Structure 1
Amino acid sequence: MSPNLTGPFTLAAAELRRFRGHPIRTLALVAIVLIPLVYGGLYLWFAWNPYGKLDQMPVAVVNEDTGATVDVNGESQEINGGDQLVDQLKEDRIFDWRFTTADTAARGLEDGDYYMVITVPEDFSTRLASLSGTDPEQATVEFDLNDANGYVAGIMASTVEAELRNQINTAVYITFATTIFGDLTQLHDGLTEASSGAADLADGAATAQTGASDLQSGLGELTTGAQQVADGASQVSDGVDQAVGVAQPVVQTLAGDWSQIQTGAAGAADLAGRANADLDAVYSALCGADAADPDACASLQGYIDDADAVNDDIQNANDTIQSTSTDTLNQASEDLTTLQTGASDVADGAAQVASAAATAEDGAGDLADGLTQLQDGATTLASSLSTAAESVPSTNPADDADNAEAYGSPVAVKETNLNPAETYGRGLAPFFIAIALWVFGLMAYLVLATVNQRALAGPLRSVPIAIGGWLPGALLGVLSAVVLYLAVELGLGLDPKDALDTVGLSILVILTFSAMAHLFKLAFGTAGSLLLVVLLMLQLTSAGGLYPVETTPRFFQLLHPLLPMGYVVDALRVTISGGETAHVTRAIVILGVYLVGALALSSLVVATRRRWKPDSLNEPLQV
């Protein structure tokens, strides 16, 4: 194999063998590998989730509220918004609440025992009570901070100020509602009872609506039947009219001639009786002798029997006629008139019944529709009353603390995060991993040699010599990057979106940063370490790791696209939290350019070092 290919690895192995034989030398290499872990790991550990432990920050609460009395429906109502707020804070440990006096709180804030003091003034409830009058006053709550106890602590406290305001606004809401409605428990119970009654009304209306529908159906059948009866009664009335029209004149005529009819009937009856008697006498005379003709007598007897039957009919008819008076016939005429009138009245009544049944059917339909509307209205009323009852704030401080966000901020802002970092430390991890990897390069070549002096005088070309001087740091850097990743992943739970990309990118970063550190140390010696520190400072301020680049001064905005750390931070954010892969691709390209460029410049420096000058015999001071 060509010496130019094996040379860099041979030089790297020779450099690493220098640290054998003594524990101190080996520990030096171990220390170099652990530098990123010590720097980045420890910093991320202590700052991983400080906002998740705000309940351990002592904050003093001073309640000086003296309460107030308001008139509600002619009765005095005691209110105390300060006590309401204190009870709510006790149920929601946003901070480590310390309920104390004003003097103790002021002294604790001055001495650093408390990071913030919340004071409820003595006129807090009085001003709240004024909201129900004609001259309302705004109530106040005082927040006191002391940056001498830590400016960042004050910023952390302010991040939950919105939640504190929710609790305060809820206390105000409860107190103000009490001044308007009095005992909120009674109001809640009353609305609940009214809601229950409205629900019962809705159920009753539903039952009544069903009955009304059944009634409408029954009345429909009744209407049909009544109309049929009306039609029949009308036909009967018409028939009676016709019958009476024929019979009544006859009856009236008979009544006028009835005396003559009776006389004629009596004469006819007498004549028939005498004729019947004469026939009997004739039969006796003709058929009483022995010489009478039997056939003739038999025929005569037949005539006599027929005459007897006719005589009986005549006699019966005469008896009937004689027993019937003219008054009876007149009464019969009047009865026919009454029958005619009654039949007409029945027909009219049946028609009225049919019409009334139809009207009742329509009314039952209207009743069913009205009951349906009543049911719907009662259901809506029950729902509205139930909602109103639920919206009445509870007098239980625990419930008020839980509902503070809704009461204090009725309108919620819906926030969507495409790639959430989730914790403070996970959001800062890209920045501090990049810094830790840069620090490795800064420290590595304080211990490792940047170039093999023997190789400079040998036949090996400058490029293999430069790469051979960089490789020990690069190999240790790769190990260091892997150790840092494993520690942050296993110890803190980094849980990146793409673990392989994160590790691979970290390796590329350490290769590039170590190549840049090797170049500066090789080219400038001790001054190179100073330049690396300066370059670190410039990258810290221009990489956009803590604040958006757009919020920094113009000078740092100009540096941002020129230095590699900004690209590293952007790419690690994507591999850890997710995002646009173009950032990773761009970072790989930029880091590749820096890596190749650094190695190329190192090769040029090595080439210049191979030109021996008198000063080459006096090596510069190394640190």
Structure 2
Amino acid sequence: MKNSWKIFKTDIQNISRNWVAAILIGGLVFLPSLYAWLNIYASWDPYSQTDQLPVAIVNEDAGATVRGEQLNVGNELIDTLKNNQDMKWSFTSRKIAMEKVEYGDYFAVIIIPKNFSEKLASVVSDNPQKADIEYYVNEKINSIAPKITEKGATFIVQKVSSQFISSVNGVIFDLFNDLGIEIEKDLPDIQNFEDYVFKMEQDLPEIHHLLTGAQKDASSAQKIITQATSMLPRAEQITTEGLSSIERTIDFLTKAQNRLNEVAPQVKNDLEKVSKISKSTNEFLQSVQNVPLDFTELDRVKADLDSKMTSNIQTVDAISKDLNWLKEVSNSSNESSEETNNEEQQTRLDNAIDKTNELKSFLQEAQTNTRTIDTLVKDKEQQFQTTLNDLQQIAQNTSVQLDAFMNEYKNNIEPTVLSEVAKAKKTLGNAKEMLTSIQSTLPEVASTLNSADAHIKEGKTTLDQALAQYPYINDKVNQLADRIRKVQGETNINEIIQLLRNDPQAERSFFEEPIVLNENKLFPIANYGTGMTPFYTVLAIWVGCLLLISLLATDANHERNVSERSVYFGRLFTFSAIGLLQALIVTIGDIVLLGVDVKDSLWFILFGFLISFVFMSIVYTLVSVFGDVGKALAIIMLVLQIAGAGGTYPVVLLPEFFQTINPALPFTYAVDLMREAVGGIVWPRVIRDVSFLLLFSLAFLLFGTFLKEKINRKTKLMLKKSRESGLFH
């Protein structure tokens, strides 16, 4: 170790005494820092200059009409982009845009098609269609630019979508607000409807019963109408026959009335004649009583009396016949007029007929007595006188009865019969008018019956359909009632109304940005350059090691009789000292010159020292042990670590090969250690990273300590042989 320290002191003295060496070493100390600083500065905020990235916008939107209002989303988008500075938007035609994007003047072209607004407006139709935006990008210009322009295109789509959703939902919630007001006004009607549904549910069995009964009634009515229709011809026939009968009856009554008018004077004359005969007979009998009996004269008187009696009987008989005829006429008139018989009239006629018959009997008895006068005279004169007195008394009574009958006939019988006949004619006239009206109405009745039959058939069909649909309606009403009960149990319509009446503008704002990302950065990084500082700083330290072993010799040829191990550690001190200077400059420069926001600056510098020593022990050992082959190995390690250490991309995004070798790379732990200092230290991770770095360093130091001398013997032969080619130094 003493010799190693001596070699280190000699190297320091030589550098301080030789200004050329000092300048070269100074350059080697600062050069890695420049590598780190330039890369960090270049990546400091690469997206801050996207406003210089030319992107063409072509608006071909023709607009659309929605519910009478003109809509042109393309124009609205252009107005929005004119105030947007995220990219260098250029508004031009399709032809120019496509020519320039192919040439490379534009990185991308975004085209708003002609039917853009029309498809967006289809949201209110039965067939809504998604709107398209055409996006063209020239990916050969740059590998990163397409990702940036794609972000711009995504921004446009999101912006349009956000505004469209906001507008649509604004309209919807305006409608909801109006709907909430209307529902609140109609709340009593809604409650009544609910009650109506429940009432309907309750009444459905009764409705089914009524429908079934109506169906049966319709069938019965249809049968009745069919029967009535079939009976119409018979009704027409009966009406016609009735009219004919009434005509005949009226004719008969007219004739009877005329006959009565003709008979009435004759009856009066006959009655007067009978009365005169009766009086004459009475006078004759009185005169006979006072005349002495002369049988010769008696025979003459008897003959004359018998003749008069016969005439009176015939006259009375004629009167009786006339009265019977009047009775028949009266009965016929009453029956034809379809009225109740006039009992008083019938009684009077019957009394008259009885009195006539009684008078006839008296006359017949008188005639008989007259015919027996001769016998009585011969046998018993006294008895004759008595008989004559009886005959005279009968004749006197007959005369009195005839006078009473004549008065009865004139005052009651004749006026009553004439009145009843006139009344019967009037009744029959009314019946004729009624039957005539019925006869004229029968066609209308037939038409009405046919119409009613058709309507009943139609109604019956409707009832059949209603009954057929009853199970479906019953199920639906029950389901609706159950659903209303369920909704009533789960929701409150007043709460729904309150929800619908929310502020439409607030709801619109909500749907324009329904989710707000509350970002909580546990270890905030100021910018992209700060995030890349750990990787570029670690890379610069490794590059510094490569520069040192490329320009400085790893062997101390000026020292004699010194072991390979002493030389190994002596030059390791020199390389490590210069490496520490490199780490000091690059870490302080990151903080001071670039202004990197490092949370733990001291630990950042100290971690740089550790990493520099570890890297130097690795690179120096490779070159010290393997010579030029070691340099190649150091470069190969650099390449593998840039790609596989996860310095730029997360390890999980790397190919499987790099994910496999990642745990075996010093860069993995070095970059992670520097990130802890930049973002905020989590000490378990620091301990893990430091432990692995020290293990790497210890492994290479042990390798150089025990194998350098053995391996150098063989590498010197290989080096000598390679120099003979004249190609290697």
Where does residue 65 of structure 1 map in the other structure?
61
Residues 438 and 513 of structure 1 are in contact (CA less than 8 Å); yes or no, is this contact kept in structure 2? yes
SS in structure 2 opposite 1:565?
A: helix
Of 32, 40, 62 in structure 1, the residue corresponding to residue 28 of structure 2 is 32
Where does residue 532 of structure 2 map in the other structure?
428
1:347-496 alignment runs, 5 A limit: 387-391=503-507, 408-455=512-559, 457-458=560-561, 460-496=562-598
Where does residue 44 of structure 2 map in the other structure?
48
1:187-336 alignment runs, 5 A limit: none
Instruction: Give 1:452 shift.
Output: 0.8
Of 127, 132, 140 in structure 2, the residue corresponding to residue 135 of structure 1 is 127
Where does residue 705 of structure 2 map in the other structure?
603
2:634 maps to 1:528 = no
SS in structure 2 opposite 1:60?
A: strand
2:80 maps to 1:84 = no
Instruction: Give 1:22 shift.
Output: 6.0
2:146 maps to 1:154 = yes
How far apart, CA to CA, are the structure 2 residues paired with 1:59 and 1:509?
Answer: 44
- The aligned amino acid for 2:46 is P
Instruction: Give 1:511 shift.
Output: 0.8
How far apart, CA to CA, are the structure 1 residues paired with 2:662 and 2:50?
Answer: 34
Cα distance, 1:616–1:574 mapped onto 2, change above 3 Å: closer
How far apart, CA to CA, are the structure 2 residues paired with 1:572 and 1:162?
Answer: 35
TM-score in terms of structure 1 length: 0.59
Instruction: Give 1:29 shift.
Output: 1.1
- The aligned amino acid for 1:38 is L
2:119 maps to 1:144 = no
Where does residue 10 of structure 2 map in the other structure?
14
2:620 maps to 1:504 = no
How far apart, CA to CA, are the structure 1 residues paired with 2:569 and 2:50?
Answer: 50
Where does residue 695 of structure 2 map in the other structure?
593
Residues 437 and 481 of structure 1 are in contact (CA less than 8 Å); yes or no, is this contact kept in structure 2? yes
SS in structure 2 opposite 1:467?
A: helix
SS in structure 2 opposite 1:61?
A: strand
SS in structure 1 opposite 2:503?
A: helix
SS in structure 1 opposite 2:22?
A: helix
How far apart, CA to CA, are the structure 2 residues paired with 1:617 and 1:127?
Answer: 76
More helix by share: 2
How far apart, CA to CA, are the structure 1 residues paired with 2:164 and 2:563?
Answer: 81
SS in structure 2 opposite 1:65?
A: coil
- The aligned amino acid for 2:43 is A
Residues 463 and 600 of structure 1 are in contact (CA less than 8 Å); yes or no, is this contact kept in structure 2? no
Where does residue 172 of structure 1 map in the other structure?
164
Cα distance, 1:594–1:134 mapped onto 2, change above 3 Å: closer
Instruction: Give 1:504 shift.
Output: 0.7
SS in structure 2 opposite 1:494?
A: coil
Where does residue 116 of structure 1 map in the other structure?
108
Instruction: Give 1:422 shift.
Output: 3.8
Instruction: Give 1:538 shift.
Output: 1.6
Note the alpha carbon deviations across 1:8-59, whole angstroms, 9 max, x for none: 3431232344446665433321221123212221111101111233223222
Cα distance, 1:388–1:608 mapped onto 2, change above 3 Å: same
Look at both structures and tell me which one has the larger radius of gyration over its CA atoms. Answer: 2
Cα distance, 1:113–1:22 mapped onto 2, change above 3 Å: farther
Instruction: Give 1:444 shift.
Output: 0.4
How far apart, CA to CA, are the structure 2 residues paired with 1:26 and 1:163?
Answer: 55
Instruction: Give 1:90 shift.
Output: 2.0
* Backbone CA RMSD of aligned residues: 3.6
Residues 465 and 606 of structure 1 are in contact (CA less than 8 Å); yes or no, is this contact kept in structure 2? no
How far apart, CA to CA, are the structure 2 residues paired with 1:12 and 1:620?
Answer: 30
Instruction: Give 1:605 shift.
Output: 4.7
How far apart, CA to CA, are the structure 2 residues paired with 1:544 and 1:390?
Answer: 45
- The aligned amino acid for 2:527 is T
Instruction: Give 1:590 shift.
Output: 1.9
SS in structure 1 opposite 2:65?
A: strand
Fraction of identical pairs, as percent: 26
Where does residue 86 of structure 2 map in the other structure?
94
How far apart, CA to CA, are the structure 2 residues paired with 1:552 and 1:617?
Answer: 38
Q: How many residues align?
A: 412
Instruction: Give 1:121 shift.
Output: 0.7
Instruction: Give 1:387 shift.
Output: 2.9
Residues 109 and 137 of structure 2 are in contact (CA less than 8 Å); yes or no, is this contact kept in structure 1? yes
How far apart, CA to CA, are the structure 2 residues paired with 1:518 and 1:620?
Answer: 21
How far apart, CA to CA, are the structure 1 residues paired with 2:128 and 2:626?
Answer: 74
2:655 maps to 1:553 = yes
Note the alpha carbon deviations across 1:544-581, whole angstroms, 9 max, x for none: 22222233333222212222111111211111112532
How far apart, CA to CA, are the structure 2 residues paired with 1:141 and 1:530?
Answer: 52
SS in structure 2 opposite 1:13?
A: helix
Residues 56 and 92 of structure 2 are in contact (CA less than 8 Å); yes or no, is this contact kept in structure 1? yes
TM-score in terms of structure 2 length: 0.51
SS in structure 2 opposite 1:544?
A: coil
- The aligned amino acid for 1:158 is E
Cα distance, 1:129–1:557 mapped onto 2, change above 3 Å: closer
How far apart, CA to CA, are the structure 1 residues paired with 2:644 and 2:720?
Answer: 39
SS in structure 1 opposite 2:110?
A: strand
- The aligned amino acid for 1:505 is F
How far apart, CA to CA, are the structure 1 residues paired with 2:718 and 2:166?
Answer: 85
- The aligned amino acid for 1:588 is V
Residues 135 and 153 of structure 2 are in contact (CA less than 8 Å); yes or no, is this contact kept in structure 1? no
Instruction: Give 1:471 shift.
Output: 1.8
Of 634, 639, 642 in structure 2, the residue corresponding to residue 537 of structure 1 is 639
Cα distance, 1:614–1:583 mapped onto 2, change above 3 Å: closer
Residues 53 and 88 of structure 2 are in contact (CA less than 8 Å); yes or no, is this contact kept in structure 1? yes
How far apart, CA to CA, are the structure 2 residues paired with 1:592 and 1:499?
Answer: 21
Instruction: Give 1:158 shift.
Output: 3.3
Residues 525 and 531 of structure 2 are in contact (CA less than 8 Å); yes or no, is this contact kept in structure 1? yes
- The aligned amino acid for 1:436 is A
How far apart, CA to CA, are the structure 2 residues paired with 1:420 and 1:153?
Answer: 26
Residues 127 and 138 of structure 1 are in contact (CA less than 8 Å); yes or no, is this contact kept in structure 2? yes
Structure 2 alignment gaps of length 5 or more = 182-493
Residues 588 and 605 of structure 2 are in contact (CA less than 8 Å); yes or no, is this contact kept in structure 1? no
Residues 526 and 597 of structure 2 are in contact (CA less than 8 Å); yes or no, is this contact kept in structure 1? no
SS in structure 2 opposite 1:151?
A: coil
- The aligned amino acid for 1:470 is L
SS in structure 1 opposite 2:111?
A: strand
Of 570, 594, 597 in structure 1, the residue corresponding to residue 672 of structure 2 is 570
Cα distance, 1:69–1:586 mapped onto 2, change above 3 Å: same
How far apart, CA to CA, are the structure 2 residues paired with 1:613 and 1:48?
Answer: 45
How far apart, CA to CA, are the structure 2 residues paired with 1:560 and 1:37?
Answer: 25
Note the alpha carbon deviations across 1:256-315, whole angstroms, 9 max, x for none: xxxxxxxxxxxxxxxxxxxxxxxxxxxxxxxxxxxxxxxxxxxxxxxxxxxxxxxxxxxx
How far apart, CA to CA, are the structure 2 residues paired with 1:617 and 1:39?
Answer: 32
